[in-house]
Structure 1
Amino acid sequence: MRRLLALALVVSGAVLSGCAPTRAADKPHIVVTTNILGDVVQQMVGDDAEVTTLMKPNADPRSFEISAQQAARISEADLVVANGLGLEEGLQQHLNRVAKAGGKVFAAGDHLKPLPYSSGDAAGTPDPHFRTDPARMTDVVNALEEALSGIKGIEQPAVAERAATYRNRLEQLDREMGESFASIPSAQRALVTNHHVFGYLADRFKFRVIGAVIPGGTTLAAPSAADLHSLAEAIKDAGVPAIFAESSQPDRLVQVLAREAGIDVDVIALYTESLSEPGQDAETYLAMMRTNTNRITTALTKTTTHQRGTL
């Protein structure tokens, strides 16, 4: 009986220790700031590395905060992957600290030719929303392949194979988006959003960016009455049938603008800053882009914009 009891205690201890949330000591550790890049990195490393994504689903990359434990994991990581171009405003001090200490920080924005913001307070500064263009995301994958291959414990041939597979998926996505957007009449290929986020998509697929409710690159700013009035006039002139709002942000300002413009426009939620929870419409980068493409195409293929009376 004592022998059976001792065996039971050993088995019980093994089960409990197996359930503890400990990090695999034999795998390299990669910390990624945003969940969009976290998904891309995971696709490329598979099970060869442990990937920690700091940003939760449906969060804002400019304002989310990390714990002291997460900050420590950044310092201990074999590689830190960030968007760069000023996107992670709240994490920049941590990224700077790692770089100053000699750690490896991969900033995706350093590996492509960024577009500048065209208007607002951020005019002329680099736009960090390159993820809305799958071709530029391919540039990021190419650079990531090299960075990941240089980490001890990650096999270069396996990374190369997974990177090639993911590039093919990005190319397929790019074709699907082009085909879908081609169905939108040229006069209606115009975008109005809650903040400037579609510069790269517009550049890639020939849209006109009419403007944004928040005239800048950050979701943390607020528009003035003059900003809203100017954008309302631009919307009237362009006759857009829909305004697009980030799914993680309240659309109150967009609804106010719709009323201010005095036209019957739909407010459509898009995923532009963050992935969704698993099982929802934007659980991966590829799913996010397909969802946005379908919603943009559906909204902008409306044939008429019904004028409302002045409020």
Structure 2
Amino acid sequence: MHLSRRQIVLGALVAGTFAGTPLRAQSGRLSVVATTGMIGDAALRVGGDHVEVRSLMGAGVDPHSYRQTRTDIQAALRADIVLWHGLYLEAQMEEFLLKLGQRGTAVPVGENVPRQERIAHEDYVDKFDPHVWMVPQLWAYVVNGVRDALSAAAPERAQDFAANAAAYQAELTRLGEYAKTTLATVPPSARVLLSAHDAFGYFGAAFDFDVIGIQGISTESEAGLSRIRTLVDMLVERDVQAVFVETSVSDRNVRALVEGAAARGHAVRIGGELFSDAMGEPGSYEGTYIGMIDHNVTTIADALGGRAPERGMQGRLAAAS
């Protein structure tokens, strides 16, 4: 029987033949691999000087379609702990991550969000919309999951992890208050958020916006011509003035909508680029979770007729080009 390379790697993983040397033995710090940048950022904030964090998916990477590379596999197998989102976000990596979980080294921290707070997935039975990071109040549950996972891996550092998490939670509370206050300045009739895929469901529920994605919750779904025509009709009928592109999804469908509306005599502009499934560039303010959400809230409010500080909550957003 012929086995694919993927089957061989997964089989070896179960057998434990790729154990490697844990990186903690080399540095004294807890070696953490995170799938997404948002989780990696939380691990850095909670772990502080006690962790070394590597995020597999960088700026502009779509986690719905991402597949682990050989380098990713090696890093994950040598890590003390792997933090992944779950909720079917890393759909193409799920088999690998579940195998790691059987070894006790992988934790799906996104599933720390209570079931009653989750939105049902539109395409898959008994699965949920994974985009919980769009609301700071929900992301706080994930931060607690990171804290607990790090504490289980390094119990001697649990007190420090708890203190760091508490300080970070205070920042998330402030961010949530900024989002609520700023987005409330958008006129109710203008609270229509249309973007490339349906990543803003939690955002809409929390801040009273009608959210429309050209594609579904997963970017693996496709938008046909009938979907585009239906959305053009909606833009015209509701007099929507701005739509949004996303950093991790092609803007092709959004631009098709703008062109379709123009053909109907209705001018719609692109209100800005939002961070949906990935943060900004490493080293930038937008390359942190707080900067990511600050950018989104400020951009949406400004584009849809609300009032927002030009450089965001902390005056740190990049200047508009």
TM-score, normalised via structure 2 length: 0.80
Equivalent residue, structure 1, for 2:288: 284
For 1:122 and 1:269, how far apart are their aligned partners in 2?
28
Q: How many residues align?
A: 277
Equivalent residue, structure 1, for 2:119: 115
Q: Is the 2:136–2:172 Cα contact (8 Å) retained in structure 1?
A: yes
Letter in 1 for 2:144: N
| Larger Rg over CA atoms | 1
Equivalent residue, structure 1, for 2:59: 57
Matched, 1:264 2:267: yes
| SS, match of residue 90 in structure 1 | coil
RMSD in angstroms over aligned alpha carbons?
A: 2.0
Q: How far does residue 156 in structure 1 lie from its aligned partner after superposition?
A: 1.3
Q: How far does residue 253 in structure 1 lie from its aligned partner after superposition?
A: 1.2
For 1:102 and 1:109, how far apart are their aligned partners in 2?
16
Q: How far does residue 220 in structure 1 lie from its aligned partner after superposition?
A: 2.7
Runs of 4+ residues over 6 Å off in structure 1: none
Q: Is the 1:42–1:51 Cα contact (8 Å) retained in structure 2?
A: yes
Equivalent residue, structure 2, for 1:309: none
Q: Is the 2:193–2:243 Cα contact (8 Å) retained in structure 1?
A: yes
For 1:275 and 1:82, how far apart are their aligned partners in 2?
16
After superposition, the C-alpha distances for 1:110-145 in whole angstroms (9 at most, x for unaligned) are 43331124x6x4598410001000000111122322
| SS, match of residue 275 in structure 1 | coil
Equivalent residue, structure 1, for 2:246: 246
After superposition, the C-alpha distances for 1:140-164 in whole angstroms (9 at most, x for unaligned) are 1223222221222651111111101
Q: Is the 1:122–1:217 Cα contact (8 Å) retained in structure 2?
A: no
After superposition, the C-alpha distances for 1:188-224 in whole angstroms (9 at most, x for unaligned) are 1111111101110111111112x2221x112233211
Name stretches of at least 5 consecutive residues in structure 2 with no aligned partner. 1-22, 307-321
For 1:280 and 1:220, how far apart are their aligned partners in 2?
29
Instruction: Say which is worse superposed, 270-279 or 98-107, in terms of deviation.
Output: 98-107
Name stretches of at least 5 consecutive residues in structure 1 with no aligned partner. 1-21, 303-311
Q: Is the 2:112–2:141 Cα contact (8 Å) retained in structure 1?
A: no
Matched, 1:93 2:95: yes
The correspondence of residues 43-82 of structure 1 with structure 2, limited to 5 A, is 43-82=45-84
Letter in 2 for 1:78: D
Equivalent residue, structure 2, for 1:7: none
Q: How far does residue 72 in structure 1 lie from its aligned partner after superposition?
A: 2.3
The share of aligned pairs that are identical, in percent, is 28
Letter in 2 for 1:266: R
Matched, 1:224 2:228: no
Q: How far does residue 231 in structure 1 lie from its aligned partner after superposition?
A: 1.5
Letter in 1 for 2:205: D
After superposition, the C-alpha distances for 1:15-36 in whole angstroms (9 at most, x for unaligned) are xxxxxxx873422211110011
| SS, match of residue 214 in structure 2 | strand
Equivalent residue, structure 1, for 2:16: none
Instruction: Say which is worse superposed, 90-99 or 122-131, in terms of deviation.
Output: 122-131
Equivalent residue, structure 2, for 1:255: 255
Q: Is the 1:281–1:291 Cα contact (8 Å) retained in structure 2?
A: no
For 1:141 and 1:174, how far apart are their aligned partners in 2?
14
- 1:41–1:67 Cα change, 3 Å: same
